[in-house]
Amino acid sequence: MPYGPKPGTCGYGIGNDPSRCLPDDIIVTCDTEVIGPGSVITWEWHHDAYPWNCNFDLMYAAYVENYQTGLWSVSWELIFDNAWFGIHGQPIPGKPGWRGGVVTLSESSFIGFQTGEQWYNSFPLGGGARFNPGGLWPTHVAVSACGYFMWWKYTIWGDIDGNEEPTYANVHIIACDDSYDKFGNYTGGVLPGVTIHLYDANWEWGGYNQTAVTDVAGRAIFNNVPAKGVSYGYYGYPVNGYNSCPQVEPYYPGAGYCYGSGHWGTGPLLRSSEFWCPYSKNTGPDKPPGPDEPPDPGEPGCLIGEPRRGPSGTTVQFRSRLIPTKDPDPDAWFIRWHWDFGDGTTSTAQHPTHTYNEVGFYTIHHTGDDTNGVTVSCETGAGYIKISNKPFSYCFVGRPRTGRAPLHVKFEALWNVSRSGAITYDWDFGDGSPHGSAEKLEHTYTSPGTYTVTLILTNAAGSSTCSVPAYIKVCDWGPPTAEFVGEPREGVETLAVTFTDLSVGCICKWEWDYGDGHTLIHTACDSKSDYVNKVVHVYEYPGVYDVTLKVTSGGIDGYMQTLCKNDYITITQGACAPTANFSGQVGELGPRSDTGVDGSPPLTVIFKDETPYATVSTSSIVKRTWNFGDGTPEFVVTGSPAKTVAIHTYGRSGTYNVTLEVKNFAGCGHRLVKEAFVVVGGPGKGVIFICDSNNHRIIKCKDTGEYILAWGSYGSAVGQFSYPTDVCISANGSVLITDMNNSRIQKFDADGKYLSTWGTLGTDPTKKEYVSPIAIAIDVDGHFIVSDLITNVISEISNLGTPLNQDGGPGDKPKQFKGALGVAVDSWNQVYILDAQNDDPEHKRGRIQGFKQLR
Amino acid sequence: MTGSEVRSPSHIYTRNSTGPDTWLQFDCEWRPAIPWQPYGITIGDYGGFNFIYITAGHSNMIYKLYHDLDTHQFIFIKSWECLGNPTGISNDNLFLYVVCSSDNVVRKFDFEGTQIDEWGFPDTQGLGGPMNNPTGIAVL
């Protein structure tokens, strides 16, 4: 699926929303459906930006939906070859996947280059993230780069807790370029009125220099080729004559090496940018290897030949991409080149062309002498250039392959070699219908049956046939019948059971529920995977398990049938098994309980493994798996018998079952579920605290109005107040009071016993200074959000009173306040501020502002 | 209530208007169509949604909003009258508790605005004496 140069306008914040891209933008989405155990989906985008090109703001996003529960990880790798660049990456906060999980981007949060610095060597950058299957996992990396060659590789890995079973999801990957969204909003790139210089000092092409000023859309036009702007203010590279600019090179019509105004310029993606859709290593790509094709050695990186395939008489354009040594001259370049084309001929040109007249597979050897006096060499793998007069290797794909009649199938010829010359296609669909003659076409099967599909491809060199028996299966109307057997059905814990699907019908989807909390979804009709009739599941813990298989037939209104076999698998406990137990307590001060805990959200619970002999000798627990029951990922601790504690914060109200699975040193395990162990929210404890402001006291009463106690009096000593205005309760039950006119926050226990004071009079909240703290709330992390009536600064304070973050200030713009009277935090950790006196000039009224917390 | 309005970021917000986002990232804002003076706020977390309850003291009103996380908008749900200049507000996931600063009364509502109970003035004995301008409340 090649993509050519398309000037585009898509920008910062594309996230998972390709609709933000303009129609002429480069937008790539790829879907896959099955990710195998431990396998990867690899998605690559090559920016062959030779000789110099500056691409920036290339947006990549990936998200996963229809996921199967389990852990996923995403990693990416971006390689610049002979490039200097800046790069920064950031995930998108506020999206469901972000909210729900733990996302960390390692490395590359920002890597800039020094002024004039060059990277002559390949420089891989690695990043990784791990996320919860929150229905959406966005990753978003904005790239600013100038260089020879950029290679983007996206890897998504999925598995269910390492059980080595196929994992199901639809994975979408999006890419687009440039810095404007479809609304024309500037989102991170060039501004209007910026001068951009394109410069080419390559003597080979006579040099080139052109200047343009960006228009209101932030685009500069060079030679009628729209350049997309500048990046983030990186200073230009001093011209030394080493670089050539593709601006004057007809083969690469994009803008090239460019500098000026303290910025880097850029050009459109060059025509040789290519894209390959993801494939699963488990199921393999759809492209079968050609019968005459040796393995492709891949691109060596140090040279380019194009085309690499063709019949005898093919002329190949070679381009040198050698990298000079840096020492002692960091600005070294090449002064001599030598090429061995593998057929007994050579050249000393920098970018030679060569015509291959003989059939064969050729290895290219290339060297260059740089100004340091060093000879740099490069050799491709065998068969880098393939000259063959035989017909092309090919095959095809059709989707869907299974379904009820009438079945509409989209066929497409697939290639693994380059195409040239006139080609004809002859499709035989196997059902006696007239043949098709297009590269892509649709065909409708009207009758049930199993059909062989044949594609005959013909060019000047001859013809070749690709035929796949039983490629299409068309079924009768009617529901499928679900059936399966499992073997063995009984055994000691950690038992591997093989389930064999015996279902009958036109089935496209199998959904297994093994009864122990693990599931498996497998699809075949529309995916690249084939039918799998045997699946293996390992039961780790003793118990009697129901097993369910749900089968769904093809078609939009496909039939479903579910078969549940009760008590089908029996797993017995090993002789050495431990007896799991655990307790919980709310906060560090709460009582420890074996039966359950409760409290208001956010509720932080400290769980403790109470399994007997958990930490001694051969009974030591070497694996603990905690399931907190609120949909968050399981917390697994391995190899650390002493790590008996797990801490979890519940952000939302609800009743939660908690599960602890333990495995001891001998390999025996036990699983304990305590139902309704954690109750968050609910009816509460019926206790109310009131700031009786003008009486300078705090009242504690029941929610029926029955008085319990009161404390405080007017003054500035500890335990006294001067107009206390707001109260909130910490995760461990402490009572925090905004003591407004004393410019402080006081902390008490629930009975009014003084605990501590945070803050003094001042305007620097980073030093615990406040003027009139008027409102306070607690967030999901247990931190406190405080608003100051006078400074209008919003502060985040740790549960120990340490200033963490500050934001806001006076004004009437967003995130500015005039009288920030109220503050609240929801269970998504979003902050709400009542901006009471911030009157709209037109309407005269206050407002509420909502914020996401960035960390 | 009529005439409520919703503003989304695209109408009023530019990233550079208040400098770079540091800790708080602006999402959306809302004002009613009639004057108010919001004072207290609490989040009612039930049914899988976050409903926002705001006291508007001098206008003697309580507003119920919903924050749509997908569209980045505050959605006005309803409002109802609460006498006595309501200031502080809290909830226990079952009921709303409001302190009113001018009549020194605590009022208890369900989440739809039906008043369940009230106490305070003139019966101040239950609170250990009369309140005087209560402004904050928290319920466990």
Q: With respect to residue B12, please indicate whether it lies within any of the assigned structural domains.
A: no
* A691/B50 touch (CB, cutoff 8 Å), yes or no: no
* A824/B28 touch (CB, cutoff 8 Å), yes or no: no
User: Are A46 and A131 within one domain?
Assistant: yes
Q: A855 and chain B: CB distance < 8 Å anywhere?
A: yes
Encoded amino acid at A394, one letter: Y
Q: A850 and chain B: CB distance < 8 Å anywhere?
A: yes
Rounded-to-10 torsion of CA A89, A95, A100, A101: -10
Of the given ranges (A214-218, A573-577, A722-726, A815-819), which has the lowest mean pLDDT? A214-218
Is residue A307 reached through a cis peptide bond, with omega within 30 degrees of 0 on the bond before it?
Answer: yes
Cα A433 → chain centroid: 45
Q: Is the pLDDT of residue B56 over 70?
A: yes
Find the domain containing B54 and state its range: 36-140
Of the given ranges (A173-177, A308-312, A476-480), which has the lowest mean pLDDT? A173-177
Give the pLDDT band (50/70/90) at residue A843: low
Q: With respect to residue B16, please indicate whether it lies within any of the assigned structural domains.
A: no
Closest approach of B140 to chain A, Cα-based (Å): 5
Tell me how far apart the alpha carbons of residues A220 and A192 are, in angstroms, rounded to a whole number: 9
We report the CATH number of the domain holding residue A357 as 2.60.40.10
CA distances (Å), A425 to each of A410, A412, A437, A454, in order?
A: 15, 11, 5, 10
Domain count, chain B: 1
User: Are A52 and A97 within one domain?
Assistant: yes
Q: With respect to residue A442, please indicate whether it lies within any of the assigned structural domains.
A: yes
User: Are A513 and A552 within one domain?
Assistant: yes
Residue of B nearest to A692 (CA): B134
Q: What is the pLDDT of residue A840?
A: 63
Q: With respect to residue B6, please indicate whether it lies within any of the assigned structural domains.
A: no
B-proximal residues of A, 621-680, CB under 8 Å: 652-653
Q: Is the pLDDT of residue A757 over 70?
A: yes
Residue of B nearest to A706 (CA): B126
Q: With respect to residue A280, please indicate whether it lies within any of the assigned structural domains.
A: no
Encoded amino acid at A301, one letter: G
**DSSP assignment letter at A854:** P
Domain count, chain A: 7
Give the pLDDT band (50/70/90) at residue A801: confident
Tell me how far apart the alpha carbons of residues A295 and A298 are, in angstroms, rounded to a whole number: 9
Q: With respect to residue B17, please indicate whether it lies within any of the assigned structural domains.
A: no
Give the pLDDT band (50/70/90) at residue A615: low
Partners of A362 in the β-ladder: A385
* A814/B36 touch (CB, cutoff 8 Å), yes or no: no
Q: With respect to residue B9, please indicate whether it lies within any of the assigned structural domains.
A: no
Q: Is the pLDDT of residue A42 over 50?
A: no
Q: Is the pLDDT of residue A523 over 50?
A: yes
User: Are A693 and A712 within one domain?
Assistant: yes
* A691/B134 touch (CB, cutoff 8 Å), yes or no: yes
Tell me how far apart the alpha carbons of residues A228 and A461 are, in angstroms, rounded to a whole number: 43
We report the CATH number of the domain holding residue B85 as 2.120.10.30
Give the pLDDT band (50/70/90) at residue B70: confident
B-proximal residues of A, 709-738, CB under 8 Å: 709-710, 724-729, 733, 735, 737-738
Identity of the residue in A699, A827, A854 whose CB atom sits nearest the CB atom of B25: A854
Give the pLDDT band (50/70/90) at residue A531: low
Q: Is the pLDDT of residue A202 over 90?
A: no
Q: Which among A551, A572, A593 is the end of a domain?
A: A572
Q: Which among A635, A665, A680 is the end of a domain?
A: A680
Per-residue model confidence as pLDDT tens digits over A226-245: 222 222 222 222 222 222 22
Q: With respect to residue A819, please indicate whether it lies within any of the assigned structural domains.
A: yes
Closest approach of A462 to chain B, Cα-based (Å): 57
The number of helices, as runs of H, and strands, as runs of E, in chain B is 1, 10
Q: With respect to residue A410, please indicate whether it lies within any of the assigned structural domains.
A: yes
User: Are A308 and A408 within one domain?
Assistant: no
Q: What is the pLDDT of residue A298?
A: 59
User: Are A714 and A767 within one domain?
Assistant: yes
Q: What is the pLDDT of residue A736?
A: 95
Q: What is the mean pLDDT of residues B82-107?
A: 90
Encoded amino acid at A182, one letter: K
Cβ atoms of A462 and A311 within 8 Å: the answer is no
Q: What is the pLDDT of residue A238?
A: 22
Q: Is the pLDDT of residue B64 over 60?
A: yes
We report the CATH number of the domain holding residue A705 as 2.120.10.30
Per-residue model confidence as pLDDT tens digits over A404-441: 778 888 888 765 343 445 578 899 999 999 999 988 89
Cβ atoms of A62 and A13 within 8 Å: the answer is no
Q: Is the pLDDT of residue A185 over 60?
A: no
Interface probe for A, chosen from B24, B59, B77, B99 (most Cβ of A below 10 Å), is: B24
Find the domain containing A231 and state its range: 195-259
User: Are A330 and A429 within one domain?
Assistant: no
Q: What is the pLDDT of residue A321?
A: 77
A20 vs B76, higher pLDDT: B76
Give the pLDDT band (50/70/90) at residue A831: very high
User: Are A151 and A22 within one domain?
Assistant: yes
Q: Is the pLDDT of residue A521 over 90?
A: no
Cβ atoms of A212 and A221 within 8 Å: the answer is yes
Residues of chain B in contact with residue A729, where contact means CB-CB under 8 angstroms, are: 138, 140
A752 vs B19, higher pLDDT: A752
End-to-end CA gap in chain A: 39
A555 vs A524, higher pLDDT: A524
User: Are A201 and A132 within one domain?
Assistant: no
User: Are A745 and A782 within one domain?
Assistant: yes
Q: What is the pLDDT of residue A296?
A: 54
CA distances (Å), A488 to each of A484, A497, A500, A519, B67, in order?
A: 13, 6, 11, 18, 52
Give the pLDDT band (50/70/90) at residue A470: confident
Q: Which among A572, A600, A617 is the end of a domain?
A: A572
Q: What is the pLDDT of residue A812?
A: 82
Contacts of A508 by beta carbon, 8 Å cutoff, 6+ apart: A400, A402, A403, A523, A524, A525, A526, A552, A553, A554, A558
Tell me how far apart the alpha carbons of residues A788 and A772 are, in angstroms, rounded to a whole number: 5
Residues of chain A in contact with residue B31, where contact means CB-CB under 8 angstroms, are: 840, 843, 845-848
What average pLDDT is seen over chain A?
64
DSSP H or E segment with residue B68: strand B61-68
Per-residue model confidence as pLDDT tens digits over A351-407: 888 998 887 778 899 998 887 788 888 888 777 887 765 544 446 777 777 777 788
Cβ atoms of A58 and A144 within 8 Å: the answer is no
User: Are A835 and A781 within one domain?
Assistant: yes
Partners of B24 in the β-ladder: A853
Q: What is the pLDDT of residue A557?
A: 52
Q: Is the pLDDT of residue A97 over 50?
A: no
Q: What is the pLDDT of residue A764?
A: 86
Alpha helices of chain B — where are they, by DSSP H?
Answer: 9-12
Q: What is the pLDDT of residue B36?
A: 79
Give the pLDDT band (50/70/90) at residue A462: low
Q: What is the pLDDT of residue A12?
A: 25
